[in-house]
């Protein structure tokens, strides 16, 4: 596989991972603020889809690592 393509793909995965984790951090911050204001339902609602976000983040991480390893062996 072309190294430029691999680098581009890894960079795209890392950028997407960063955006996703930034969003997750924002949600956690909002949930924490809601809890501090006594709004437990709002806090949980704010991060209700966090499991999917973290699964997506893990998939992006794994894809970047797999591309890196593939580039080193080709």
The pLDDT-based confidence of 73 (bands split at 50, 70, 90) is: confident
Q: Are 17 and 60 in contact (CB under 8 A)?
A: yes
Q: Tell me the per-residue pLDDT of 57-68, one tens digit each, with 9 for 90 and over.
A: 999 999 999 999
* The pair of three-digit structure tokens given for residue 36, joined into one six-digit string: 């501090």
What is the rounded CA–CA span in Å between residue 60 and residue 30?
24
Q: State the pTM of this model.
A: 0.88
The pLDDT-based confidence of 74 (bands split at 50, 70, 90) is: low
Q: Tell me the per-residue pLDDT of 4-49, one tens digit each, with 9 for 90 and over.
A: 999 999 999 999 999 999 999 999 999 999 999 999 999 999 999 9
Cα distances from 4 to residues 7, 8, 65, in angstroms, run 5, 6, 16
């Amino acid at each position: 596989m072309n190294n430029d393509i691999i680098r581009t793909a890894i960079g795209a995965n890392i950028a997407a991972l960063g955006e996703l984790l930034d969003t997750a951090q924002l949600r956690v911050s909002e949930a924490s603020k809601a809890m501090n204001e006594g709004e437990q339902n709002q806090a949980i609602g704010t991060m209700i889809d966090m499991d999917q976000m973290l699964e997506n983040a893990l998939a992006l991480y794994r894809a970047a690592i797999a591309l890196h390893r593939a580039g080193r062996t080709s």
